[in-house]
Amino acid sequence: MSNDLSLERTPPTRTHWRRRVAAIGLMLGAIAGSGTAMAQTTPKPDWSLADMPSQAGRFFLVTGGTSGMGYEDAKALAAAGAHVVIAARNAERGREAMDKIRQETPDAKLQFEVVDLANLDSVRALGRRLGTTLPRLDGLINNAAVMALPQRGVSADGFEMQFATNYLGHFALTAELLPLLRKSASPRVVTLSSVAIHRGGLDLDNLQSDKAYDPYAAYAQSKIACLMFAFELQRRSDAAGWGIQSMAAHPGIAVTELVARGPGLDSEQGRRWAAGKDQLHSAAQGAIPTLFAATAPGAVGGAYYGPTGTNEMRGPLGLATVPTVAQDATTAARLWDASEALTGARFR
Q: Is the pLDDT of residue 105 over 90?
A: yes
Q: What is the pLDDT of residue 13?
A: 42
Q: 113 — phi, psi (to 5°)?
A: -135, 135
Q: What is the pLDDT of residue 9?
A: 33
C-alpha span between 56 and 75 (Å, rounded): 14
Q: Residues 161-176: pLDDT tens digits?
A: 999 999 999 999 999 9
Q: Is the pLDDT of residue 30 over 60?
A: no
245 falls in which pLDDT band (50, 70, 90)? very high
Rounded mean pLDDT, 222-237: 98
Rounded mean pLDDT, 258-265: 52
Considering only 94-103, 158-167, 250-259, 336-345, which range has the smallest mean pLDDT? 250-259
More confident residue, 267 or 237: 237
C-alpha span between 39 and 61 (Å, rounded): 29
* N- to C-terminal Cα separation, the chain: 30
Number of H helices, E strands in the chain: 13, 8
Task: Provide the mean pLDDT of the chain.
Answer: 86
Give the helix/strand (H/E) hosting 242.
none
Q: Are 322 and 304 in contact (CB under 8 A)?
A: yes
Considering only 55-69, 178-192, 263-277, which range has the smallest mean pLDDT? 263-277
Q: What is the pLDDT of residue 272?
A: 56
Rounded mean pLDDT, 309-332: 94
More confident residue, 163 or 40: 163
Q: Is the pLDDT of residue 31 over 60?
A: no
CA-wise closest residue to 287 among 69, 87, 85, 86: 69
Q: Is the pLDDT of residue 129 over 70?
A: yes
Q: What is the pLDDT of residue 122?
A: 98
Q: Is the pLDDT of residue 277 over 70?
A: no
C-alpha span between 87 and 64 (Å, rounded): 6
The fraction of the chain above a pLDDT of 90, given in percent, is 76
Q: Is the pLDDT of residue 26 over 60?
A: no
For the annotated catalytic residues, the residue numbers are 219
Q: Is the pLDDT of residue 126 over 90?
A: yes
Residue 245 C-beta-side C-alpha neighbours within 13 Å = 21
Q: What is the pLDDT of residue 131?
A: 97
Given strand 83-88, what is the order of strands in its sheet? 109-114, 83-88, 59-63, 139-142, 188-192, 245-249, 304-307, 317-319
Rounded mean pLDDT, 26-48: 56
Q: What is the pLDDT of residue 22?
A: 37
Q: What is the pLDDT of residue 148?
A: 85
Rounded mean pLDDT, 66-75: 96
Q: Are 63 and 90 in contact (CB under 8 A)?
A: no
Q: What is the pLDDT of residue 271?
A: 52
Q: Is the pLDDT of residue 301 over 80?
A: yes
Rounded mean pLDDT, 281-286: 87
Domain boundaries defined on the chain: 35-342
Q: What is the pLDDT of residue 199?
A: 87
Q: Is the pLDDT of residue 159 over 70?
A: yes
C-alpha span between 207 and 152 (Å, rounded): 13
Q: What is the CATH number of domain 35-342?
A: 3.40.50.720
Could you please report the per-residue DSSP string of 158-224? Answer: SSBHHIIIIIIHHHHHHHHHHHHHHTSSS-EEEEE--GGGGG----TT-TT--S---HHHHHHHHHH
Could you please report the per-residue DSSP string of 47-114? Answer: --GGGPPP-TT-EEEEETTTSHHHHHHHHHHHHTT-EEEEEES-HHHHHHHHHHHHHH-TT-EEEEEE
The neighbour count for residue 324, using CB atoms within 10 Å, is 7
Q: What is the pLDDT of residue 33?
A: 34
The neighbour count for residue 199, using CB atoms within 10 Å, is 12
C-alpha span between 241 and 323 (Å, rounded): 27
CA-wise closest residue to 312 among 200, 198, 231: 198
Residue type (1 letter), 211: K
C-alpha span between 184 and 245 (Å, rounded): 11
Q: Which residues pair with 305 in a beta bridge?
A: 249, 319
263 falls in which pLDDT band (50, 70, 90)? low
Q: What is the pLDDT of residue 282?
A: 83
